Amino acid sequence: MVRHKNRYIVVLITENDTNATKKLHLKPITLSNAIKDTVQQLYGDFGLAAIKAAFTAKYCNELTKIAIIKVRHGPHRFVTSVLPLITSLENKSITINIIHIGATIKQSFKFILEYQERKYYEFVANLKRDEDKKALRESLMDIDDVLTIV
């Protein structure tokens, strides 16, 4: 039996048309289909078959605009090379930046928690009520739905 290594790519998705505090309504399936289509266009059937084995978009946070993409080690280079080329999703002009590539999902979640903690302190500077701060913290640090999938 062969052990297959995976890579977890953490990306930041920003909309070019709107302001930074607006929520991004994006489903993981939409992101994964856009990546598959772009890999198909650039690398053909070989590239698509290479990434398809363990490829999934696992997580999308609306507030921080972070997503996790899981792909096998080796073909992850196809995915990382096409991510900056994706410029629109659901008729929205976007930019995708890779902020972390990890070997385990645990390390990726640790990175996301640290990143979201930094984002929380950026957002909380504009809020005055404690209830708003608490609600923001709960929404930013909500990765429990992903942990149950894993």
What residue type is assigned to position 133 of the chain? K
Domain 6-149: which topology? Alpha-Beta Plaits (3.30.70)
pLDDT at position 134 is 75
Tell me if 106 sits within 8 A of 58, measured CB to CB. Answer: no
Q: List all residues 6 or more positions away from 39 whose beta carbon is below 8 Å from its beta carbon.
A: 47, 48, 51, 78, 79, 82
> CA 69, CA 79: separation in Å to the nearest integer?
9
pLDDT in tens, the chain (150 residues): 778 899 999 999 988 876 655 677 788 888 999 999 999 999 999 999 999 988 998 888 777 788 999 999 999 999 999 999 999 888 888 999 999 999 998 999 899 888 878 877 777 777 777 777 777 777 666 655 555 544
pTM: 0.79
pLDDT at position 18 is 63
> CA 93, CA 68: separation in Å to the nearest integer?
20
Strand-pairing partners, residue 89, are 92
